[in-house]
Amino acid sequence: METIVKRRIKQVIKGDQDAYGEIVELYRDKVFQLCYRMLGDRHEAEDIAQEAFIRAFININSFNQNLKFSSWIYRIATNLCIDRIRKKKPDYFLDAEVPGTEGLTMYSQISSDTVLPEDELESLELQDEVQKEISKLPEKYRMAIVLKYIEELSLNEISEILDLPLGTVKTRIHRGREALRQQLKNV
Amino acid sequence: MSCPDHIVDYMHDYLDEEISEREEQELRKHLHSCSDCEQHFRELKKAIAFVQNTSHIKAPDGFTASVMAKLPKEKKKLEMSR
């Protein structure tokens, strides 16, 4: 697939805008899915996913053709998602430590308060439940988990996309998994 | 519970497929003898299964057309005139 994409990118750079449509077709589902799992809202996800493709197009000349296009478009999309999440956040941070406590975050306080009563839980689709738990993860863990388990990327690719050392990616995935374990163990 | 700290690390290394044979054997041996750790490991695998089984959703209809309509036109003309 990357070979076809590389050919299309060369055509786009030469001014063939239609060739870009083929690239969008190839990656739209993956990019949309990434945005949806990060943002938890279809409209926002569509907005951000489109923005990612538009930015990639505008900056196509700066794309290093030795890299995978998928890693590049993922990187643009992850940065846009994180910007959007930060803009939406109120003046406190869910993953900031609560003052005077050790390791206790606002997020852990909230998650223990929002356990749903049994009957309400049963009426929800499991899918929505899992998405909700993903949405509760602090964004840096959420991003790593989504890339690993929903986009099914390797640790090396994730490290490239997030521009983080492999060790940091592993730590985030470990912590994300532990948080999800706590959140999902009674589902 | 007085299990060695590295047991949980081994669980994660196992899940990342980055565990040595010796470590894997130690992990398995421990899980056989410790129900708390065995449950911890089971819960981790269950959480992963839940996330992996979220349905793969598709981009909405008209997504590509919408992107194409929003691309800057000037760029195209500029590039074409070269």
pLDDT at A127: 82
| Amino acid identity, position A82 | I
Task: Find which of B13, B43, B46, B67 to mutate to test the A interface (most A CBs within 10 Å of its CB).
Answer: B67
Contact A185 B43 (CB under 8 A): yes
Q: CATH number of A107-186: 1.10.600.10, 3.40.50.300, 1.10.10.10, 3.40.800.20? A: 1.10.10.10
Q: What is the ipTM of this complex?
A: 0.84
Residues of A in contact with B79 (CB under 8 A): 13-15
Residue B79 pLDDT greater than 70, yes or no? no
pLDDT digits (tens, 9 = 90+) for B5-64: 899 999 999 999 999 999 999 999 999 999 999 999 999 999 999 998 887 889 999 999
Kindly give, in sequence order, each residue whose CB lies less than 8 Å from that of residue A154, ignoring residues fewer than 6 positions away: none
Distance from CA of A177 to the nearest CA of B (A): 7
pLDDT of residue B13: 96
* Chain-chain contact of A174 with B12 (C-beta, under 8 angstroms): yes
Looking at residue A129, what is its pLDDT?
Answer: 87
What is the residue extent of each domain of chain A?
1-91, 107-186
Residues in chain A with pLDDT values less than 70? 89-124
CB–CB of B47 and A181 under 8 A?
Answer: yes
Mark yes or no for CB contact A170/B54 under 8 Å.
Answer: no
CB B33 within 8 A of CB A171: no
pLDDT for res A3: 86
Structure tokens that stand for A132 in this block: 């909700």
pLDDT at site B80? 52
- Residue A20 and residue B68: Cβ atoms within 8 Å? yes
Is the CB of B58 less than 8 angstroms away from the CB of A32? yes
CB atoms within 10 A of CB A23: 23
Instruction: Report whether A150 contacts B51 (CB < 8 A).
Output: yes
Interface test with A, best of B9, B36, B71 (most A CBs within 10 A): B71
Q: Is A162 helix (H, G, I), strand (E, B) or coil?
A: helix
Q: Which residues of A touch B47 (CB under 8 A)?
A: 177, 180-181, 183-185
Q: How far is A8 from chain B (nearest CA, A)?
A: 15
Residue A25 has which token pair?
Answer: 């077709």
Task: Give the residue among A71, A89, A40 at the shortest CA–CA distance from A147.
Answer: A71
- How far is A105 from A85, CA to CA, in rounded Å? 18
Phi-psi sector, A92: left (phi>0), alpha (psi -120 to 50), beta: beta
User: What is the percentage of chain B residues whose pLDDT exceeds 70?
Assistant: 88
Contact call for B51 and A20, based on CB within 8 A:
no
The CATH number of domain A1-91, selected from 1.10.1740.10, 3.40.50.920, 1.10.150.130, 3.40.50.2300: 1.10.1740.10
| pTM of the complete model beyond 0.90 | no
With CA atoms as reference, the chain A residue closest to B60 would be A46
- Residues A33 and B63: beta-carbon distance below 8 Å: no
A186 contacts chain B (CB < 8 A): no
| Tens-digit pLDDT profile for residues A157-180 | 999 999 999 999 999 999 999 999
